[in-house]
Amino acid sequence: MNLPESINPRRDTRLDSYVDSYAQRTHGLTVSAVRALFSVANRPEVVSLAGGMPNITDLPRAALGAAMDRLITERGIQAMQYGSGQGEPFMREHIVEVMAEEGIQAHPDDIVITCGSQQALDLVTRTFCDPGDVVLAEAPSYVGAIGTFRAYQVQIVQIAMDDQGIVPQALREAMISLRALGKRVKFLYTIPNFQNPTGVTQTLERRREILAVAAETGLLVVEDNPYGLLTLEEAPIPALRSMEAERVIYLGSFSKTFAPGFRVGWVLAPHGVREKLTLAQEAATLSPPVFSQFAIATYLEQFDWRAQIDVFREMYRTRRDAMLHGLAEHMPAETTWTNPRGGFFVWVTLPEGLDSQAMLPRAVTARVAYVPGTAFFADGLGSRNMRLSYCFPTPERIIEGTRRLGEVLHSERELNETFGIGTTAMRYLDSSSSPAPDIS
Amino acid sequence: MNLPESINPRRDTRLDSYVDSYAQRTHGLTVSAVRALFSVANRPEVVSLAGGMPNITDLPRAALGAAMDRLITERGIQAMQYGSGQGEPFMREHIVEVMAEEGIQAHPDDIVITCGSQQALDLVTRTFCDPGDVVLAEAPSYVGAIGTFRAYQVQIVQIAMDDQGIVPQALREAMISLRALGKRVKFLYTIPNFQNPTGVTQTLERRREILAVAAETGLLVVEDNPYGLLTLEEAPIPALRSMEAERVIYLGSFSKTFAPGFRVGWVLAPHGVREKLTLAQEAATLSPPVFSQFAIATYLEQFDWRAQIDVFREMYRTRRDAMLHGLAEHMPAETTWTNPRGGFFVWVTLPEGLDSQAMLPRAVTARVAYVPGTAFFADGLGSRNMRLSYCFPTPERIIEGTRRLGEVLHSERELNETFGIGTTAMRYLDSSSSPAPDIS
């Protein structure tokens, strides 16, 4: 397969006559060359281990369709009308029940519904961050969060993590250094469960330590937990928010436990913050998707959503196991990877001398795609890493994907050994990666 | 009826411990006292002429329910999945057809789908405006737009209008003065059809003049057109965008021509701007409501949406006529109002000495509600005005509402004549009004 010209970085010949009129924040937003490559990666012959799309084929569509029919026929007048800027009260009550599954005690009045949890992140950043403020995040962290922080001209400082999550001492030292520099650190953004992109989960002990550092340094914590209920092994570990209510802003989502197309996420925040978030939501959308809230409430009321999550767990467990099996089988020596206990992702570290970003066009030519590690760092690190997703392809395709990837890695290593490190790959791809949904 | 304590301005006794951590932009967001009053106004015994909610009872709900059942059963896998950050291609193609009804020729690639057209406004402001930049708007203008501009710390300069819309010479003079002051004027925000709040429509000649001033002064125009197809008299006047493609950003919505609960609006913009808006949308939501786009496309494909708009027109025409009839019957002398040829709103100017904002609690006590004119000005003007909506209540309720309002006005005038101007009313209501959906 030859790569089409479209994977070259975009060089649009049309002039943008508004380039002098944009806000400062807009100049940081650029189209990533990686995006063009992913349009190739989405072809059916390519096994994409890049996307973060959940597999929703197991949802009971016929029964859902019938329930939506009744919803519109019987309550369509309310479900299709404008709604509350904060989100519908019944939806917020259901969310309290959902969060209780992870040990969180909350009041519906402290929740704001959002257009997916991406918008929760947007509203929180908008509410707290002026240009130049600092946000702390894991190294590496979710590409979509990095994109949102950049869109608000925030300085992102990424904190070292190990196989138990953020290293508390690294967090403490960063706070001390940044304060000494006079920086305004607005919050720590963290994904404690099955982190995107690493698949790493903070242990209970580690969570306590992180909260202790936060208390000690006066740091607000933004806990993003889209995958928490998709645990593939033991019961969920209590959320940070379940241990500390006043210092934690919690972001949740139905995108992975039900379906992303309804675009319903939420923020749970201390009361004063919640009030600001509601005002921000009204300025941003008047009200978050109303029909979607009725649809999801209908699902939660009329279906056994806990049993459905068990179905999802079983399905993702099989895929996770396929990926770990495929990696053990096909990766060259000196390649390592994480062992996720839930969620969607495995984080691979390549042998020295290999560059995941430079290698991507070659991998796509070999009909396998991944997200280069550089996408998850604000500063260009991560070139020896890649994120592999096991959420969307079938187990057979996952194994085939790891086989193809193994071949690419083996041949890259051989080339390196023959011609010297780093000379083999195309190097034109830039490191800034915009958060397109297929690489979230 | 006595007013409950809850209509007093909120004095929350709980301290907000994050008050020092918020971004600059957040400090401008405050809860309006008007909002508390509207929670009273929403009681069934009150005739609310305040809300901007469309009346969607005429939609064919049973048939719509059946169509949604088929959609989920047959295409649920796509409709409930993540989608494009720019919006689904089929949705953008349909929008091209809808806009053609108002003379607009466009390409689907130049459209970005948004979570209601409020989010279109948010993304456009985010893309263009730094703090301190100037946006021009009509005097008065949509309360939700003023809220969004404020949320981005934009200086709002409102331009005089007459019964044909913005006065071109006033626009020209404002541009000259602001440029002389070194201000960066980012765009003119205008609602040419059945404007919110005045109900005024720009004539074709006036549109040409406004575009001529824009060309002459290098001004970008943001045309907000949610009501355009709800014309109650002659055929629609061509949109500004149909006369000038490169200098106009066009905002559209399905909220008034179909239903607001799906939260689907759009922006049509010159190519370079569209690219920035897409990136902003991805940072804000990953993708706008996906299921909603499938639902609306299903509606447009399987139902006679043009005939449905004719049904809406007929229904709103009856209500508009009821309101004009009621006003003629019940308003005291020296009260004037606009004569809308479409849309939802009538703009009333009270006799000298009456203050619509101060009078509002008294009106709600008399079981009628409206939006005080001050909500539509950034600078506290509008105290002799009120916006009355005829979109939501039945014609009988509209007439009863104008009767109650007439009584309040008559008794206010008598009190003024007895005790002197301006002493009679409660004055604690603040002038900043947040864009709650019920007062949009």
Testing the interface with A: which of B263, B293, B296 to mutate, by most A Cβ within 10 A?
Answer: B263
Average pLDDT of span B286-301: 97
| pLDDT attached to residue B426 | 41
| Helices and strands in chain B: count of H runs, count of E runs | 14, 14
- Could you say which of B31, B286, B295 has the minimum Cβ distance to residue A116? B286
Give how far A412 is from chain B: nearest CA, Å: 33
- Min Cα–Cα distance to chain B from A414, Å: 39
HEC string of A13-34? Answer: CCCCCCCCCCCHHHHCCCCCHH
**Residue bearing tokens 């809308």:** B340
Mean pLDDT computed over B327-341: 97
Helices and strands of chain A, counted as H and E runs? 14, 14
B407/chain A closest Cα distance in angstroms: 31
Give the pLDDT confidence score for residue B33 in this predicted structure: 58
The answer for residues whose C-beta is within 8 angstroms of residue A38's C-beta and 6 or more apart is: A50, A369, A436, A438, A439
What ipTM was estimated for this complex? 0.92
Mean pLDDT of A339-352: 97
Mutation target vs B (from A68, A432, A434; most B CBs, 10 A cutoff): A68
Rounded (10°) CA dihedral B88, B92, B97, B98 = 100
| Range scoring the smallest mean pLDDT among A9-18, A67-76, B38-47, B107-116 | A9-18
Whether this prediction's pTM lies above 0.90 is answered by: yes
For domain B5-58+308-431, the question of CATH label 3.90.1150.10 is answered with yes
Cα angle, residue B148 at apex, residues B144 and B150 outer, rounded to 5°: 115
Query: What are the sequence ranges of the domains in chain A?
Result: 5-58+308-431, 78-302
Contact B118 A25 (CB under 8 A): no
User: B292 contacts in A (CB within 8 Å)?
Assistant: 263, 289, 291-292
Domain B78-302 class in CATH: alpha beta
**Given this model, what pLDDT does residue B417 score?**
82
The string of pLDDT tens digits covering residues B402-437 is 999 999 999 998 888 887 655 444 443 343 444 344
Residues A319-330 pLDDT 10s: 999 999 999 999
- Between the CA of residue A268 and those of A117, A175, A305, what are the distances in Å? 11, 25, 21
- Specify which residues A336 forms β-bridges with: A349
Contacts of A328 (CB under 8 A, 6+ apart): none
Alpha carbons A248 and A267: distance in angstroms, whole number: 10
CA–CA separation, B213 and B240 (whole Å): 13
Nearest alpha carbon to residue A223 among A109, A120, A101: A120
State the residue for tokens 């309290």: A96
Alpha helices in A8-82 (DSSP H): 24-27, 33-41, 61-79
Q: Which of B53, B220, B286 to probe by mutation at the A interface, max A CB count within 10 Å?
A: B286
Amino acid at the residue A229: L
Note the pLDDT tens digit of each residue in B269-279. Answer: 999 999 999 99
Closest-CA residue in chain A for B25?
A127
Q: How far apart are CA B78 and CA A261, in angstroms?
A: 8
Burial status of residue B235 (CB atoms within 10 A of its CB: 0-12, 13-18, 19 or more): exposed
Paired tokens of A122? 């947007």
Do B257 and B316 contact (CB within 8 A), yes or no? no
- Amino acid letter for position B315: M
Omega within 30 of 0 (cis) for the link into B238: no
State the greatest distance between any 2 C-alpha atoms of chain B, in Å, as a whole number: 71
Q: Residue written as tokens 């060089």?
A: A11
Q: Give pLDDT, residue A34.
A: 62
Identify whether the C-beta of residue B99 lies closer than 8 Å to the C-beta of residue B250.
yes
- The count of other CB atoms within 10 Å of the CB of residue A215 is 13
